[in-house]
């Protein structure tokens, strides 16, 4: 019975919804949830440990992608910097997928808002400010 | 959290990899302990050979499932050339390569061990040891310990070699109990029991050392999912240690005293139970080392 219970608890872990602690995004520039009146010229992502960036996309709220060039994956690094083109006023979401030095996959997103500098008073739609590390898959 | 097909495949294949590693390392150790038992020797050789084949299959499935998980492009994602090109030069690919070489060498060693020539047998024994070391070393390439440092990597190397020797020995020991010579069973079990003391000390030291390094505070053992999984693993380890002590102190001495065939049956059953718990420990470890992560790395 004890064995059965142990198996049950292990199985329930598969379905558990709480967050995992793994390498993730430590900070970013612009910060997650930032409301900016001046368009940033660079996007900086700093992870909690060296990682290889597998995928990175940046989109505005109309699903228009902002082109970003991924660095070579030859070595892992903690901080990444990307030059941004001239941005229009919009909500931007950055989706990242990384592989930590432990071989684990992690992904998550961060977002920021760029105001139209002349229209700072307009009511912007509420934006999600979650910074989630939603997935983590196995290594060997 | 709902795991994708790839994540479940990674998890199950990882579990099979662990079982194969145990079979290969434990089988190699047992070849020495059962010298002079040719029939049993052949069984153990087949066991390590099967472990090697399962290992080769599981390592390959594990790699393709990882590529699929990274590609996020449905089932065809496992053939994503870009993701293969990304993963292969990394520690993921290196681990796969060296594990394939390790299990491949073990397969060759198992084949050569069946040969009658003494020199070929010796060569195969050397090959088997090299293969065990290669496979164990790959555990330092990848996993949570790589994020912690060199000491943790040293501990994981010892942990894998020792756990493999222990868990992988259960099948040969179980098989040994089917032989008629109780005195041989007793001798092998006594030798294994003496080794067991060293094994237990090293397993506990290396395991606790890693827990110490991966956890910031003991409360995480109960408050985080990773901690709970580690606690479950520790409970299972405690049960298996209890069974091992029961064998050493009660069942093995009985082999040559009262009703030997009954004692042998009891021992065989008990080793079977021990093996079952070991399989559960490895399953918990597969969950621990993949879908969950320690808080300290957050």
| Cα separation, B211 vs B209, whole angstroms | 6
- Per-residue pLDDT tens for B52-90? 999 999 999 999 999 998 888 888 889 999 899 989 988
| Count of residues making up chain B | 298
B192 vs A130 pLDDT, higher one: B192
CB atoms A9 and B232 under 8 Å: yes
Position B1 scores a pLDDT of: 53
Q: Does residue A14 fall inside a structural domain?
A: no
- Compare all CA atoms of chain B with the CA of A13 and give the residue at the minimum distance: B225
Position A73 scores a pLDDT of: 66
Long-range contacts of A4-9 (CB under 8 A, 24+ apart): A6/B232, A6/B235, A6/B236, A6/B280, A7/B280, A9/B228, A9/B232
Q: Does residue A121 fall inside a structural domain?
A: no
Suggest the residue from B58, B288, B291 to mutate for an interface test with chain A (most A CBs closer than 10 A): B291
Taking phi over 0 as left and psi of -120 to 50 as alpha, with beta for the rest, B56 belongs to alpha
For chain A, the domain total comes to 1
CB atoms B143 and A102 under 8 Å: yes
Look up the ipTM and state it.
0.71
Range of the domain at A101: 25-114
**Residue percentage of chain B with pLDDT more than 90:** 44
Q: Does residue A6 fall inside a structural domain?
A: no
- Per-residue pLDDT tens for A35-81? 998 899 999 999 988 888 988 999 998 888 888 887 776 678 889 98
| Cα separation, B105 vs B136, whole angstroms | 14
Residue A48 makes CB contacts below 8 A (sequence gap 6+) with A23, A24, A25, A26, A78, B297, B298
Nearest CB neighbour to B146, from listed A14, A20, A102: A102
Lowest mean pLDDT among A15-19, B138-142, B162-166, B237-241: A15-19
Question: For the residues B261-283, what does the mean pLDDT come to?
Answer: 91
- Compare all CA atoms of chain A with the CA of B3 and give the residue at the minimum distance: A14
Residue A13 has pLDDT above 60, yes or no: no
Give the single-character DSSP code of B215.
Answer: -
CB atoms B11 and A104 under 8 Å: no
Name the strand (E) or helix (H) holding B134: helix B118-138
Q: What is the CATH number of the domain that holds A87?
A: 2.60.40.1220
């Amino acid at each position: 019975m004890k064995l059965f219970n142990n198996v049950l608890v292990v199985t329930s872990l598969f379905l558990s919804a709480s967050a995992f602690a793994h390498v993730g995004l430590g900070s970013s520039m612009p910060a997650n949830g930032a409301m900016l009146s001046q368009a940033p010229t660079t996007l900086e992502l700093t992870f909690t440990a060296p990682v290889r960036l597998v995928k990175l996309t940046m989109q505005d709220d109309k699903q228009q992608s902002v082109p970003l060039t991924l660095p070579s994956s030859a070595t892992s690094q903690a901080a990444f910097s990307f030059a941004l083109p001239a941005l229009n006023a919009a909500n931007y979401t950055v989706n990242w997928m990384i592989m930590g030095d432990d071989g684990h996959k992690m992904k998550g997103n961060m977002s920021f808002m760029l105001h139209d500098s002349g229209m700072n008073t307009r009511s912007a739609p509420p934006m999600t400010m979650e910074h989630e590390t939603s997935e983590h898959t196995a290594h060997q | 959290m709902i795991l994708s097909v790839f994540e479940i495949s990674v998890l199950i294949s990882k579990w099979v990899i662990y079982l194969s590693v145990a079979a290969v390392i434990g089988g190699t150790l047992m070849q020495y302990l059962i010298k002079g038992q040719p029939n049993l020797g052949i069984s153990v050789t087949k066991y390590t050979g099967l472990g090697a084949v399962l290992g080769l299959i599981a390592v390959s499935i594990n790699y393709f499932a990882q590529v699929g998980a990274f590609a996020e492009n449905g089932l065809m994602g496992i053939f994503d050339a870009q993701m293969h090109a990304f993963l292969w030069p990394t520690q993921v690919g290196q681990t796969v390569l060296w594990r394939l070489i390790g299990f491949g060498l073990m397969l060759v060693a198992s084949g050569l061990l069946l040969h009658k020539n003494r020199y070929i047998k010796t060569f195969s024994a050397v090959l088997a040891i090299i293969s065990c070391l290669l496979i164990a070393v790959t555990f330092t390439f990848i996993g949570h310990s790589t994020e912690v440092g060199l000491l943790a990597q040293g501990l994981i190397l010892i942990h894998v070699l020792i756990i493999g020797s222990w868990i992988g020995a259960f099948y040969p020991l179980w098989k040994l109990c089917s032989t008629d010579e109780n005195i041989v069973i007793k001798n092998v079990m006594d030798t294994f029991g003496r080794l067991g003391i060293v094994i237990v000390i090293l397993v506990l030291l290396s395991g606790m050392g890693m827990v110490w390094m991966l956890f910031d505070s003991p409360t995480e053992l109960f408050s985080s999912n990773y901690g709970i999984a580690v606690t479950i693993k520790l409970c299972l380890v405690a049960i298996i240690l209890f069974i091992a002590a029961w064998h050493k102190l009660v069942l093995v001495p009985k082999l040559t005293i009262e009703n030997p065939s009954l004692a042998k049956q009891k021992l065989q059953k008990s080793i079977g139970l021990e093996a079952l718990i070991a399989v559960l420990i490895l399953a918990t470890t597969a969950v621990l080392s993949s879908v969950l992560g320690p808080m300290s790395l957050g």
